[in-house]
Chains A and B, each alone.
Chain A
Amino acid sequence: MGAIPTLLLVIVLAFLMVHAAPGGPFDDERVLPPETQAALEAAYNLDEPLHQQLFNYLSGVVRGDLGPSYRYRDYTVSELIGSAFPVSLKLGAMAMLVALIVGVLAGTVAALRRNTALDKFVMAFAMTGISIPVFVIAPILVLLLAVKLQWLPAGWSGNEGTGRLVLPVIALALPQVAYIARLMRASMVDVLSSDFIRTARAQGLGTTAIIRYHALKPAMLPVLSYMGPAVAAILTGSVVVEEIFGIPGLGQFFVRGALNRDYTLVLGIVIFYAALVVLFNLVVDLLYGIIDPRIRRR
């Protein structure tokens, strides 16, 4: 439960940083008359001293109340997160799944066909995926598959079904596919040349059985420990992808919230992300224990 002080620190730091940024949630080129500005600030308790605001905010958070959004005046922050998170989760989970399946498969195949044309192709593809940023890949995918060929929808709203998820998931998963494939290939090559595999081979086991029963689990360990950073990368990547495809996920609300000085929305999402990261770290630790018995014993 070391997570609670961590979260508290995150909240306080984020609160101070957001409020330290110049400008306020109601600023615009059309400056409000002082009376209106004062009335607005009073309505949202922004006229109180900062420490009082921080205290109010923290006591709200403890009660599970993330406050009203300053920009979306008909919505509370919890409502916005509640509508955006399932979208981001679906997108992120699918991207992660695609990245894992394709990455592990490609990496294993490359390791088995080491130094063949197939291996070279997979690794070249992986290199490309790592080096081309999402904001370049995504528009190219849209232009090709949505605008020219019209196979898939170009945007989110008004397109029901899974079709609208395909391009964003590909854009988001591609760099992760590349990373995982490279990791998987390296560790698979390593495992395949170790003694216990040679023993298994000597006992007459086929390649498929060796991979499935002996090599896959130990070779997956580096990939698993990469899951934490991968989740983080997908979270940050989703900010860009959501912006490009116009997806109403957390990333987009986060960016818009920061630009609009929607203090409560930004803070709410920061807290939410922080809690998620803490949770994911816990899950990865547990998974590690399941896969590698040596860790469990310690």
Chain B
Amino acid sequence: MISKRRALTYIVILLAAAAVVWQYSNVPAPDEQAASVLHRGLLTDPESMDPHKARSTQAGIVLRDIGEGLLGYSATGELVPGAAEHWSVSVDGLTHTFSIREDARWSNGDALTADHFVFSLRRLVDPATAAFYSQMVGDIVNASAIIAGELPPEELGVEAADDYTLTITLERPVPYLLSLLTFPSTFPVHPGSVATYGDGFARAGNLLSNGAYKLDAWEPGSVLALSRNEQYWNNAATAIDEVRHHVVTQEMTQLNRYRAGELHITGSVPPDNFAQVQEDYPDELHIAPYLGIYYYGFNLTKPPFKDNPGLREALSMAIDREVLVESITGRGEAAAYSWVPPGVDNYEPRQLKYAGETQDERNAHARRLLAEVGYGPNNPLQIELRYNTSDSQQRLALAVQAMWKDALGVETTLVNEEFQVLLANMRAAEVTQVFRSSWIGDYNDAHTFLSIMESGNASNMPRYSNEEFDALMQDAADQVDPKLRRLYLEEAERVLLSDHPAIPIYFYVSKHLVSPEVVGWGDNVLDYHYSQHLSLAPANATP
């Protein structure tokens, strides 16, 4: 029998031993510098490492490290050759011919050939794959019919003339085709491993990559571990040996891990601590315009907003966007007066007509408009504003509620719903009046923003439908001449803005903390940051 004193002694010894173990087991990440490991924060798990089954922007971040399309982007966001060394376009803009690099390899050493792209693009549009982004290549000959199950995938307008020559034939000119071909959905998958493993081909251990890195392990909810793909054609230019994409869903936790030196790059920066972060890390905080719009949509199928553009315009005018982006969102977002964000290639966004007025002028103007459609002190407008449950959405909704009340005397009821419930309600368009939504561009072209407002587009949440707008979009689609096409698109946006189917509120920005050790980081509107463009400088090289 041990005495109480002895027991106490044991406990003290145990505690001391534990302390020693912790001390040694807790090796902070940057100490791994010698092995050149990059630690990046990811905000959610990818859905899959199968490029056809992946969906989220977070999945895209990892896929761009392990796969490569025909083209890619440079660190600063310019289109550069990828698996294709060069390419040419026919005069009518319908036939694209790509020369695949003869030194392009899969991570097992197999040559990457043109028929792998044929296989993969067919798989993308095959209804049996049920790919989220099949519509993205819907303009390739027969693609839409294949997606709808009317033609077999073999009928797709993609051919391999020989091992290194790929032709893609389009039904109509798609000026942004090259930028589509940087998107992970168009990345090749290895036909042999799809045949061998079936749906399991994309799991770590089975997955073959043709990009700068290969997937070593994926612990769901925790980390995706990547290491250098020695077979990659441009391996000599890859500086960092290993990349860890840490899945950390809380922005706050990412910030703490960055502060503790466990992450080199964060996926975002939490709103609540933004001012503090700006003060603490002025040189490490990267805020850049991003191709995304935050908007309030109107339900155009029900009163009071159906057939009532004056009312919609009045509500749109009375929102003081400058106040919202300065005091509510406060992370460098830009007030939105157009539907297409600034920074889109070969495009100049149109502006809402009142954009040049001061807020006082807008408010006076809005009051007149409201009176014209029959609302005023004797007949106050009562509306409902729906948003998904979150602190930042709530703050913005409260501010808009106050602005509408002060400027127009409108009584707004705020309704917050879980995101999936809000989505279901928006799609049903039965109970919604004003709702919050957003759109992130898939490629660097105005089309990705304007096309969702075409009649019948599944993502057209306000249910906007205007023949003039649809015709202009069709005219733009039929144009080979990029200058004319641009004019049609810009005119379409002008029509859209004058109908006020939605209130553009602000344009998103990308927000990252990037450690001073990371070299080669470039801010760009698509927020693409390939690990292969980055390198790590020793921590003590910076003051």
Contact = CB atoms under 8 A, between A and B. Distances in A.
Given A74-B202, A143-B256, A146-B260, A36 B4 contact: no
Contact of B423 (A27, A142, A157): A27
B220 A248 contact: yes
Contacts of B44: 256
A150 to B, nearest CB: 6
How many B residues are at the interface, by size bracket? 35 or more
B424 A74 contact: no
Interface in A126-155: 139, 142-143, 146-147, 150-155
B219 interface: yes
Given A73-B53, A157-B246, A23 B423 contact: yes
Nearest to B39: A158
Name the residue in A33, A40, A166 with the highest tally of chain B Cβ atoms < 10 Å from its Cβ: A33
Contacts of B28: 150, 153
A120 B25 CA distance: 37
A243 B249 contact: yes
A75 interface: yes
Given A72-B220, A248-B219, A248-B220, A154 B421 contact: no
A245 interface: yes
B288 interface: no
Contacts of B312: none
B131 interface: yes
A33 B253 contact: no
Interface string A72-88: 11110000100110000
Interface string B443-479: 0000000000000001101000000000000000000
B25 A261 contact: no
B261 interface: yes
Interface in B479-511: none
Interface residues of A, number: 62
A73 B256 contact: no
Interface in A162-215: 162-164, 166, 208
B259 to A, nearest CB: 5
Contacts of A28: 55, 423
Given A36-B135, A158-B246, 8 more contacts: A33-B458, A42-B130, A73-B48, A139-B252, A147-B260, A153-B28, A157-B247, A259-B418
Q: What are the nearest 10 A-B pairs in CB distance?
A: A161-B25, A23-B420, A248-B221, A163-B26, A157-B223, A31-B458, A39-B130, A22-B424, A154-B260, A248-B222
22 contacts: A23-B420, A36-B147, A72-B48, A72-B220, A73-B47, A74-B218, A84-B221, A147-B259, A150-B28, A155-B253, A155-B260, A155-B262, A158-B39, A158-B223, A161-B21, A163-B25, A243-B249, A244-B250, A246-B247, A248-B220, A248-B221, A256-B44
